A and B are shown apart, each in its own frame.
Chain A
Amino acid sequence: MSLRDNPLGELKVPLTWAAAIALVVAVVAATAILLSDRRETFKAEAYGVSRRASDKVLAPVGDVLATPGRWTGAGVDTIRDYFAAGSQNRQLKAELKEMRQWRDVAIALKDENARYRTLLGLKTDPPIPMVAARIVTDSRGPFADTRLANAGSERGVKAGNPVMSENGLVGRVIGVTNGASRVLLLTDIASRTPVMIDRTNARAILTGDGGPNPRLDYLRGRDPIREGDRLLTSGDGGVVPRGLPVGTAVKGLDGRWRVVLASDAAPIDFVRILLFEDFTQVVNQKELSQTPTPPPTPGPGGATVKPEVVAEAPVPAPAPKAPPAAAKPSSTKAKSADDAAPDTATKPAAKPNPKTGDETSAKSAPARTPATTPAADRKPAAKTSVMAKPNGPPKPKPQPKPPADGAQT
């Protein structure tokens, strides 16, 4: 049967209607894809096969394309350095002179901190291993600010890892594949980072809006911030470690507080991906959940609190082991029950910022129960009553040099 004999052979589809139907089908497909997207979740599997595959392909392409620009920049820098060698030398000498004074202060403070930590028995955070990577692609639109770095799962990078440049925090990893990882910048509309104002210790949430200066939301306290205040990560939530430099506060044209990012001071070509794992991530949750829960605290008119709980409360050291000597302060790492954390090789100079011990106590807050917080309202006391109960209070080591002045934590 020829086509002309076929009753459907004379059927003519109006082109406009066919195009309209094709458009509707494509819109439905795009809507379904958009609704099923789960970019905001932290789970590695939510990143999707398509994204991982495209990142794997795009990373080497971007690397090759960026190479001429990188070489040109290096060449320009070399020529500029050659002609500005004299003035740079003078400037560097002046800086070195000032830095030497700061070095002496840092050594003294480091020693003092070590003694205080040993005295208080604080659990310090473990050292954070890092991976260096190069940025190969960059997107800067109002709806997406991400970058592709050429280090991925083969080097231990995981979704959620913070990313830093030499100047400050850049963002965090949201997707990883072999050879590449996608970095969500602080300026992205989906980025939320808990920060604190260095001067007042006030907390806020750094919220990206696609522009170069993300805004500060949920500022708490009375007059918590001033123009030029330095902002650091607060470590709340446990995704980003405490104390990483973020930027300085400025008042935006819209009257809202915004942040000039420290990482914007120079082009972001090389970054450090911090393989940071929070205490809540390395702890053995299964074992923790099997710990017997203490009985609930009776009300004011009820039965009395058990005497052993009250007696244990003031003991500050939650660790079952005694703290080591003051010569190695940062080796008092929080060891999880299953020893999942890496060993305690400490290089304070390699860390981006010295961190305080508050992080550990803040993160372990969910392990506490109100039943074990009697009169004392301090965090170590509340924590100790839960964590030190099975083994009893550890004996404090005698300290060779107690500080002469009052404790400043």
Chain B
Amino acid sequence: MLQVIAATILLGIPLRVFGLQLPEPIFPMALAFAWAVIRPSILAPFGILLLGLFLDLFWGGPLGLWALCLLIAYGGALAGRSMMAGQNRAILWAWYGVTTATAMVAGYLFVMLDSRSTPGLVPMAWQFLATIVLYPYAQRLIDLFEDADVRFR
């Protein structure tokens, strides 16, 4: 969690390299996916809620927006956990993409209702791409759990 918060703050600094700004991925998405795949937990939803609230406070968006989107992604991953179990890396990556897309579509709808205006699809696509390339981080968390459990050895 601390790593995610630190990475989000680090990519939030106003820096432009050759006229391009830094990407802004949703780092907590990796946690929401990995925690759901690893095992159902009582603490995980509240951790994700806190991370979402941090994102909203840090990015200055509507408070609760990312908290709700991340929880929807977590719920989706938790519901499809039995289908993901035992799958290889590429399939899990695809599931991660589906989960991220679900969260972003939910965010799109909530923002549309909140501001009565449609967000641009191009910036959404960029953020989606920047987020799905973070899957190796989620995979590492899953691998850490499986390596620590003697039943998976």
Which of these binds chain A: B83-91, B94-102, B122-130, B138-146?
Answer: B122-130
Q: Is A386 an interface residue (CB 8 A)?
A: no
Question: Contacts A15-B40, A34-B62, A146-B60 known; A26 to B12 CB distance under 8 Å?
Answer: no
Contact assessment for A54 and B58 in the assembled complex, using a CB-CB cutoff below 8 Å: yes
Interface membership of chain B positions 115-136, coded 1 if the CB is closer than 8 angstroms to chain A and 0 otherwise: 1011110111001000000000
Measured CA separation A61–B54 after assembly (Å): 15
Interface residues of B in 55-91 (CB under 8 A from A): 56-68, 71-72, 74-75, 78
Nearest-Cβ distance from residue A216 to partner chain B, whole angstroms? 13
Q: Is B28 an interface residue (CB 8 A)?
A: no
Measured CA separation A293–B57 after assembly (Å): 47
Which A residues lie within 8 Å of B75 (CB)? 23, 27
Contact assessment for A65 and B9 in the assembled complex, using a CB-CB cutoff below 8 Å: yes
Partner of A31, one of B64, B78, B127: B64
Contact assessment for A189 and B60 in the assembled complex, using a CB-CB cutoff below 8 Å: no
Q: Can you give 7 A-B contacts (C-beta < 8 A)?
A: A15-B40, A20-B40, A22-B43, A29-B67, A31-B64, A58-B57, A66-B13
Interface membership of chain A positions 5-49, coded 1 if the CB is closer than 8 angstroms to chain B and 0 otherwise: 000000000011011101101110111111111011000000010
Measured CA separation A268–B15 after assembly (Å): 9
Contact assessment for A209 and B14 in the assembled complex, using a CB-CB cutoff below 8 Å: no
Which A residues lie within 8 Å of B41 (CB)? 15, 19, 22
Band of interface residues on B:
35 or more
Which A residues lie within 8 Å of B119 (CB)? 142-143, 189, 209-210
Contact assessment for B61 and A48 in the assembled complex, using a CB-CB cutoff below 8 Å: no
Measured CA separation A155–B119 after assembly (Å): 34
Which B residues lie within 8 Å of A230 (CB)? none
Nearest-Cβ distance from residue B14 to partner chain A, whole angstroms? 4
Measured CA separation A29–B49 after assembly (Å): 8
Partner of B71, one of A27, A66, A210: A27
Number of A-B contacts (CB under 8 A): 179
Nearest-Cβ distance from residue B49 to partner chain A, whole angstroms? 4
Interface residues of B in 1-54 (CB under 8 A from A): 9-10, 12-16, 21-22, 24, 39-46, 48-49, 52-53
Contact assessment for B49 and A69 in the assembled complex, using a CB-CB cutoff below 8 Å: no
Question: Contacts A137-B14, A143-B119 known; A25 to B63 CB distance under 8 Å?
Answer: no
Q: Is A147 an interface residue (CB 8 A)?
A: yes
Prevailing SS type, chain B contact patch: helix
Contact assessment for A135 and B14 in the assembled complex, using a CB-CB cutoff below 8 Å: yes
Which B residues lie within 8 Å of A22 (CB)? 41-46
Measured CA separation A50–B120 after assembly (Å): 28
Question: Contacts A34-B65, A182-B60, A211-B123 known; A62 to B9 CB distance under 8 Å?
Answer: yes
Interface residues of A in 130-179 (CB under 8 A from B): 135-144, 146-148, 174-175
| 8 A-B pairs with least C-beta separation | A146-B60, A34-B64, A144-B61, A33-B64, A19-B40, A211-B120, A139-B59, A26-B45
Which A residues lie within 8 Å of B59 (CB)? 139, 141, 143-144, 146
Measured CA separation A189–B116 after assembly (Å): 9
Contact assessment for B127 and A142 in the assembled complex, using a CB-CB cutoff below 8 Å: yes
Measured CA separation A27–B70 after assembly (Å): 10
Which A residues lie within 8 Å of B60 (CB)? 51, 139, 144, 146, 148, 174-175, 182, 184
Interface centre among A62, A140, A141, A210 (most CB of B within 10 A): A141
Can you name the residue of chain B whose Cβ is closest to the Cβ of A27?
B71
B-side residues, CB < 8 A to A, are 9-10, 12-16, 21-22, 24, 39-46, 48-49, 52-53, 56-68, 71-72, 74-75, 78, 107-108, 110-111, 114-115, 117-120, 122-124, 127
Contact assessment for B46 and A51 in the assembled complex, using a CB-CB cutoff below 8 Å: no
Can you name the residue of chain B whose Cβ is closest to the Cβ of A175?
B60
Interface centre among A29, A174, A190, A210 (most CB of B within 10 A): A210
Partner of A19, one of B45, B58, B61: B45
Question: Contacts A26-B46, A33-B64, A48-B63 known; A142 to B120 CB distance under 8 Å?
Answer: yes
Known: A65-B13, A144-B60, A209-B120. 4 other contacts (CB 8 A): A37-B62, A141-B123, A144-B59, A189-B115
Q: Is A207 an interface residue (CB 8 A)?
A: yes
Question: Contacts A16-B40, A30-B52 known; A190 to B115 CB distance under 8 Å?
Answer: yes
Partner of B124, one of A23, A142, A268: A142
Q: Is A301 an interface residue (CB 8 A)?
A: no
Nearest-Cβ distance from residue B52 to partner chain A, whole angstroms? 7
Contact assessment for A210 and B123 in the assembled complex, using a CB-CB cutoff below 8 Å: yes
Can you name the residue of chain A whose Cβ is closest to the Cβ of B52?
A30
Which B residues lie within 8 Å of A69 (CB)? 13-15
Contact assessment for A139 and B12 in the assembled complex, using a CB-CB cutoff below 8 Å: yes
Nearest-Cβ distance from residue B64 to partner chain A, whole angstroms? 3
Can you name the residue of chain A whose Cβ is closest to the Cβ of B111?
A143
Can you name the residue of chain B whose Cβ is closest to the Cβ of A61?
B9
